Amino acid sequence: MPVAFAVSKRSTSVGLPKRAGRLGTRRYRSGASAAIVTGMGEGDIYEVWLVRHGETEWSRSGKHTSTTELPLLPEGEEVARGLRDRLSDTDFAMVLTSPRERARTTAKLAGHEDAEVDADLAEWAYGEYEGITTPEIRETVPGWTVWSHPSPGGETAEQVEERLDRVVTRLRGANGPALVFGHGHALRALTARWLGLPVTDGRLFRLDTATVSVLGHERDSPVILRWNS
């Protein structure tokens, strides 16, 4: 509640220097994902830091939360404040946040109250499943997941992919490291698109609340540098 495997909140997938920033002069070449590359020229590629918002009452209980505005729990606020030190060593050229209160509050408590709101970073819209847990949904739809089944009245995977591709395009055009405050499913979907994978492959990346993950490149390949830490 932040590759192709689940990682616990206490571990990371790949070691990363304490101070992170530009990854040398690496250039992105077309071929990783045509949907993302379309219309983009070559440019320097920087790291992208992802932060999932702090814990809310619904995230604690497993209720699907998209458009519902919920405050952070006191514990969620405390952990969000703790992110400030973890992020302070990096000079971010772009800081974006979902429009939802829980993401904007996390950004503020983490020292980035001036984060730019990007509506494309909103959480996956669950429609009729808003405020309902997966076990409750599976009482009527066996095996349901947001990645594999429709959400009546909500977004399709194709719709989520379209808007998160716009975010990836923005991030690839940043003039330095970028920082993003968002949500569990949306950030997992964004990561899949960064890697050139179908948005539904976000199912492979567990993401806990108030965790930090870092995307980047190794030579010409988009990679995950740190995950769910």
Query: Is 185 part of the annotated catalytic residue set?
Result: no
Query: Is 77 part of the annotated catalytic residue set?
Result: no
Write down the catalytic residue from 53, 112, 185, 217: 53
Q: How many CB atoms lie within 10 A of CB 229?
A: 18
Alpha-carbon distances of 31 from 60, 162, 197, rounded to whole Å: 39, 18, 12
Secondary structure of residue 97 in the 3-state scheme:
strand
Write down the catalytic residue from 55, 64, 112, 123: 123
How crowded is the C-beta side of 155, counted as CA atoms within 13 Å?
A: 21
Q: Please report how the helices 157-172 and 184-194 are oriented relative to each other, as an axis angle in degrees rounded to 10.
A: 60
> Tokens 């302070």 map to which residue?
88
Known catalytic residues are: 53, 123
